[in-house]
Structures are given as structure tokens and as C-alpha cells.
Amino acid sequence: MIDSGLRDLIGQVLVCGFAGDMLDDHARRLIEEHHVGNIILFSRNIHHVEQVQKLTADLQDLARANGQTHPLLICTDQENGLVRRLSPDVPGLPGNMAVGASHDPALSYQIGVMTGKLLAACGINMNLAPVLDINNNPDNPVIGVRSYGDNPQEVSRLGTRMIQGLQETGVIACAKHFPGHGDTQVDSHLALPIIRHPFERMQRTELVPFEAAIDSGVRAVMTAHIVFEQLDPERPATISPTVLTGLLRERLGFEGMITTDCLEMNAIANGVGVGRGAVMALLAGADMVMISHRLDRQEEAILAIAQAVHSHELPVARLEEAVSRIAQLKATVSSSASSLDMPDDLRVAAYDLQRQSARACLTPLVDQEPHWPYPRRVAVVIDPYKPHMVAAGLDPLDRTVQTVREVLPGAVVEGVAYDHIAQELRLHEADWLLFVTAGQKVDPDMIDQLRRHGHSAVLLVHTPYKWPMFSPAKRVYALYENTPWMIQAAVRALAFQESGQGHLPVMVEAISDDVTPKELGSDD
């Protein structure tokens, strides 16, 4: 049996999720029985503006009715780009690597302000963004285009302006994933990554954006489930006192709130386990532990924390310290209910910024024939291979065809998966050939098609690292994400000479002139 005082303390250090789009039994049990003080929302919880406004208002009302004196922190991962949680009726904005291609801190600030306003209009008061990881590993499966780029100073400049923009709207920003998830080839959702770099290299690279964020006043930092051998060879950063207290608190001087990433990720759940992980994270110096999905694991953590207190392993003073930081954070946000609709002028401003920023981020890599005639027929070839980024959820490439149709009224736009080109589409009959690809694998036959066609373009809707392999196309654009606004920007550049203004934010290895596309494809 957990007494009411301890129950309240434990509830305040938890951030929990549930599956429904309304106050279901799971959500009610979290707040009514366990006094959970913080909620995380995913796409599964958000379908349209009015629905999420009602959900967030109902959650706040339920917390007040059950004696919570501070508002709930209601958070989500609105990183923009590929990782976004707001519903399709909310204007979307480019993500980090696209913004990195703009090299424009003022644009990053504008996106931060607009993102904060859109979240606040939905009743969400904390954004688990920005990602401050430096993507210095082209094969990184979890960060990639979620990063601003591979230059520590550029990531710092863009990330701090995003933080300032968010927090000026009253929405809490959260820098992640400390101390850096950018140089891994393992996704911590699936397994435990290990980084072996010397600490001096981390000081020059991974830690630079986090130090800048702390100096700029970021209010929260999220931990990474990664073992940094030079810091703590035994424990992931999330449960390491050396990393959270020794490095983040004492060495870097961070006084704000530390939250874990979700403890249900396999790096923790398949290691020490969710319940034990929650206790170890609090002992390490985390203030809030995140358990995003399953009620049984949430209750496992509650029981484990209570038992650790009763056994004197976890001092009550450590919980009180964490709750004090969370209360200070909550004092900066409002629990007032949202209006019944998102203001029209906010939507208009958001769509204006969407188009402006998409053009600023779109990166022309090959531009051999900049003046194409308006097409009568367009063949859109969809690359069936795309990387699975757990944080992004589903990302169907085939919606691109509809977006192309919207930008080119009057043109016949046909789409087909690359595997079925021979059976379903005669590419030579199309005025334009658009190859929409995640840029992971390069098929030599497709390269030949791009070389032979008079008006061929490649739209790289994910990683830009292998773009030189597609250089036989007449035009190649890096979009960094398969989002309608970036597709629209690329097609407008092709049809209406609205040229992209971006420049690559990452280093890409050149290809030697004596290597043919077929050789490149066969080596991939």
C-alpha cells in the first residue's frame, strides 16, 4: 500500500501515455488512482484540432478535480518534418535537416514560434524538441534527418533559436538526446547503442549544442539510452549518475528539469527493465521518467519506486528535489482550456511560413535544365525501399502522387512502384520522369532511365548522403523529408522556376569520375 504523500510524489515524476483519443479507462486510472502529473501524446491520440483541444482540456480538468494544484505537463514530439504528432488539419513545417539546409537561424526561430503557437492552441504545453544530436554518421538509423546537420556550431545556432522561439510562446522546449545520439548505427528503440569516442572528442562535438542550449535557457533536457564507454562503461546515460549528475548537472551547470526518453524502448526494457530503470534513472539524477505506452509497465514503475523508497534505496529527498524542479517548470505554463477552434489568422500565417520555409530549405543538387515546359503527362516512380525510422511512424511514399497532381493541375500524373515499371508504365511517353526515393539504395537500371529521359528529376525525400549516385538525372533535389510541403516546393521549382535556396547541411563524399552508375548500384 502506497500512502497518499508518496503516491503524489511518484505521480509527479512520471510522464505517461495511453492509447485513446479521449479520456479512456487507462487515462483515468493514471490520473485518478496514481495521480500522474504529466502526459505524453502521440499521433494515436490526435486526430483533429477540436478533438485534441477537448482531450487536453479534459485531462487538465480531471487532474484539478483530483487535487493536483499544478497543471499537467502535456507533451508531444512535434519535431516537425518526419517526426510530428499534430493532426493533418494543422499546417506542417520542415524538420531539422531541412532547416539545417537553410542555414538561417532567423528561420529556425520563426519555426519555433509558430510550432509553439500551434501546440499551445491544441492545449499542449511542452514540446520534446529540438533534437540537438549531431548526425555525423551517415548510417544512423534513428537520428538522420531529425538532426540539423553534422556541424556542432550550426546545430547550436539553429537549435538555440528554435528553443527561444518555442519558449517565447510559453511552450517548454526539451533538448534531446543528451549527451548525443548522432554517431550510432543502432536505434535505441530496438537495442542498446555503445559509443567509444574519447571524452575530448565529445567536448568538441556532441556536447557543444547542449552547452549552447543550457546557456540559452532551455528548461528541459532528455536523456539518451546509450552507453558512452569513456563516461560510464556499465550503464546507459539515462541511468548513469556519472552522466546525469556528474556531467549534466555539475560540469555543464544545468539547473532545469531532466526527463528520460521512454523507458519502454528496448535499450532499457530489455536490459535492466522498466521498473528498475525508473528507480535507477531517479537515483542517477533524472527528475521525470517517461513510460509512454503500457499500463502494466507504468504500474510496475510506480511499485518499484515505492519499494525503493521503503527500502531506503531511493531517498524521499531525491523525489522531493525532482518534484520541486517539475513544479518550477509547471509554474511557467497555463492550464487554461483552448478555444474551440484554431484562429484563422494563425492557420494563414502557418501556411505562409510553410511555403516560405520549404523553398528556403529545398536544396538543388543537380540543375542541368532549369527551364522545363509545363507537362501534359508526368510519371512518378516510387522507390519501394525506405528506411524504418521508429520515431517517425508510418511514412507512405505513395501519397506523393496526389501532391504532384495538386501542384500541376491539368497534367496527367501517374504513379507506380519501381518494381512494376515495365508492366505498368511506359516512362518514355511521359514529359517528366520523377523518381521519388529515400536515397538508401541505387538501382543501376533506374539510373539508366534517368540518364536517357529528356526531363528526369530525383526527389530525395530522406537521406541526402548518396545523392551523387543520382547525378545522371537532369535535376536532383534534396527534400530531407517526404512531406507535402517539401514535395510541393520541389515540383514548383521544376514547373515554375521557384528555385530552392538550400545548401547541404552535411558532408557528402564525392564519387570518382571513373565509376559508372551500374558499378555504384551493384556495390550498394
Set 70, 103, 181, 189: catalytic member: 189
Residue at grid coordinates 494563425: 346
Question: What is the sign of the dihedral through the CA atoms of 425, 428, 432 and 433?
Answer: positive
Could you tell me if 158 and 505 are in contact, meaning their C-beta atoms sit under 8 angstroms apart? Answer: no
Query: For strand 456-460 and strand 475-478, is the pairing parallel, antiparallel, or unpaired?
Result: parallel
Set 8, 187, 261, 443: catalytic member: 261
Residue 161 C-alpha cell reads as 533559436
Q: What distance in Å separates the CA atoms of residue 97 and residue 149, rounded to the nearest whole number?
A: 6
Q: What distance in Å separates the CA atoms of residue 456 and residue 503, rounded to the nearest whole number?
A: 21
Q: What's the gap between Cα 52 and its chain centre?
A: 20
Of 307, 254, 246, the closest CA to residue 278 belongs to 307
Residues in the chain: 524
Q: What distance in Å separates the CA atoms of residue 506 and residue 150, rounded to the nearest whole number?
A: 5
Question: Is 189 a catalytic site residue?
Answer: yes
Residue 179, preceding bond cis, omega within 30 degrees? yes
- Specify which residues 194 forms β-bridges with: 227
Question: Is 261 a catalytic site residue?
Answer: yes
Q: What distance in Å separates the CA atoms of residue 296 and residue 416, rounded to the nearest whole number?
A: 44
Residue 57 C-alpha cell reads as 482540456
Residue 130, preceding bond cis, omega within 30 degrees? yes
Q: What distance in Å separates the CA atoms of residue 336 and residue 344, rounded to the nearest whole number?
A: 20
Fill in the DSSP letter of residue 370.
Answer: -
Residue 164 C-alpha cell reads as 527561444
Q: CA triplet 429, 433, 438: central angle to 5 degrees?
A: 145
Query: For strand 220-223 and strand 14-16, is the pairing parallel, antiparallel, or unpaired?
Result: unpaired
Q: Report how many helices (DSSP H) and strands (DSSP E) the chain contains, helices first.
A: 19, 16
- The secondary structure of 171-228, three-state, reads CEEEEEEECCCCCCCCCCCCCCCEECCCHHHHHHCCHHHHHHHHHHCCCEEEECCCEE
Neighbours of 426 (CB within 10 A): 10
Residue 367 C-alpha cell reads as 540543375
Q: Catalytic positions, please? A: 189, 261
